[in-house]
Chains A and B, each alone.
Chain A
């Protein structure tokens, strides 16, 4: 579905991403992991063409991304980014309706059908009860669900998530990722998630892409990517890796510098 062909990107002098290539198949749940500054967020921004790579190209179902206009991209790829700022806060419903924007073209107002789609998205994410509340009165977890609902209102094929669970407590992290997993499994939505939380990524993703300094260090199922050698080499710190007692996925434990 998405083919990334040897892309390189730099903001100024230094390359932030170098010759990155990978494919994402329809319905996959892919995690992008790596240390700070390894290029995770930049990669996501390139995938929805906020940034254009200087070299290489991205094909979305065989069509080069740069040949698609912004609205066409937004109809197929939705983004749930880190916190956006709320200068003059809209209500929950107004925010979810904004997800219909790529479909509206020149018309200035949403139709009944748009409202219907927005409501269904809100039902799915269980935010219908507070649809009239202004966004700045919601908790972090509620706000995240609003942005998922907005993404669903875009009726996309792919959802890109950037650090979706940062600043959520464990209960809300699980709630959120379960919701994403359901969308992935039941609706066949393709998910690409950049995250710092390797245990979470290991538990939920089908496949991981481990970045180091703008290059792909390793890609494959969690069991092949999250190994002691890979993590110690990329992150430069000692870790202990065993298996999650229930799921059997790799599990990382941190260690003090002095050792045990």
Chain B
């Protein structure tokens, strides 16, 4: 009997969690400063147990204060983008929907660019706070204009999002055209998605939003299954659709805002991870959401590890890696597994 049961969700989640732990361990041992794998792992576990012994002070700093927080940050963002992408695809019933469709990311970008231009970029939490604020303001604007008689209509909301987004893009281009050379570099890296200038303390800002957002969306996963076949279909099966839509859109937008504010615009994750998981495990959100979260986390940590090591000591923006890996992988999935019929 091939249906989603708690046991199946648990088994797959445990397996994907082990994969995630493995990816984290690999990512903290790789880098421009060589720390032998066993020693890095020993440093990590001893610090978890409150001991210190292994490794030099420098090595401990590199692993515990640089690589580990960065891996956690990348993991949170990867999980957030994957889950919000899956939710947007269900709510808009559009396989091409991604977390950036409603303009939230452009709002975050405007916030970030203003922070960079004001010189707040060097202040440790200035950048993520400013972009989170920009994203939240955008959510308010889009939801204000995207509702008709108090109801969310997907097409109206989508149009409001796209139009708000393009207006904000004009602002972004304006800021870029008037900015100085050194700011320009920061801005462009931010727009391509980059963890190198994000502070580990950003974890504290985005952690609650992403964790709570993903959890609350997961509670609605059974109803997201029903809305996949249309809103009328969900009503016929007893779902309070307006409440479901409002909450889910807001949660997905909030998760996006938190993710983007930590590291800029990382493309592709919100699109390919949900689709890959659907192709492997099926469309049921009760399995899709936890799997996408765990797999998205692993994927982004791996991508970021590549981004900082591939051309070391030069760091690439992680968005370059996600697109370069994600594109071909997705094409491969489409060709070898069952093709998504509507694409």
Contacts and interface: CB of A to CB of B under 8 A. Distances in A.
Contact of B1 (A79, A108, A115): A115
Interface residues of A, number: 37
A48 B238 CA distance: 10
B21 interface: no
Interface in A89-115: 89-91, 93-94, 97-99, 101-102, 104, 108-110, 115
Interface in B250-284: 278, 282-284
Interface string A109-148: 1100001000000000000000010001000000000000
B34 interface: no
A101 B95 contact: no
B2 A73 contact: no
Contacts of B3: 91, 93-94, 97, 110, 115
B228 interface: yes
A88 B340 contact: yes
Interface string A34-50: 00000000000100111
Contacts of A74: 236-238
A252 to B, nearest CB: 31
A78 interface: yes
Given A71-B238, A74-B236, A102-B237, A109 B341 contact: no
Interface stretch (B40-48, B217-225, B307-315, B318-326): B217-225
B327 interface: no
Contact of B341 (A79, A99, A102, A136): A136
Chain B interface bracket (under 10, 10 to 19, 20 to 34, 35 or more):
20 to 34
A198 B235 CA distance: 29
Contacts of B235: 48-50, 70
Contacts of A62: none
Contact of A70 (B233, B240, B284): B240
B177 interface: no
Contacts of A247: none
A94 B226 CA distance: 11
Given A70-B238, A94-B284, A132-B2, A81 B232 contact: yes
B237 A101 contact: yes
Which of B2, B226, B286 is the most central at the interface, judged by chain A CB atoms within 10 Å of its CB?
B2
Contacts of A93: 1-3
B225 A90 contact: yes
Nearest to A106: B219
Interface string B202-235: 0000000000000000010111011011101101
A63 B216 CA distance: 34
A87 interface: yes
B4 interface: yes
Given A104-B222, A108-B222, A87 B237 contact: no
Nearest to A86: B229
Contact of A81 (B4, B236, B342): B236
A74 B2 CA distance: 26
A253 interface: no
Nearest to A101: B237
B337 to A, nearest CB: 13
A178 B282 CA distance: 34
A196 interface: no
A101 B229 contact: no
B147 interface: no
B113 to A, nearest CB: 36
Contacts of B240: 69-70
A104 B225 CA distance: 14
A207 interface: no
A88 B236 contact: no
B258 to A, nearest CB: 24
B230 A109 contact: no
Contacts of A89: 283, 341
Contacts of B342: 87
A238 to B, nearest CB: 36
A5 B247 CA distance: 35
A88 B283 contact: yes
Contacts of A67: none
Which of A86, A88, A94, A101 is the most central at the interface, judged by chain B CB atoms within 10 Å of its CB?
A88
Contact of B236 (A72, A78, A108, A110): A78
B238 to A, nearest CB: 3
Nearest to B9: A109
A219 to B, nearest CB: 25
A98 B237 contact: yes
A85 interface: yes
The 8 closest A-B pairs by CB, nearest first: A74-B238, A102-B238, A88-B283, A71-B238, A79-B236, A84-B229, A101-B237, A70-B238
Interface of A: 45, 48-50, 69-75, 78-79, 81, 84-91, 93-94, 97-99, 101-102, 104, 108-110, 115, 132, 136, 154
13 contacts: A48-B236, A50-B232, A74-B236, A74-B238, A84-B230, A87-B342, A88-B228, A89-B341, A90-B225, A91-B3, A94-B4, A101-B239, A132-B2
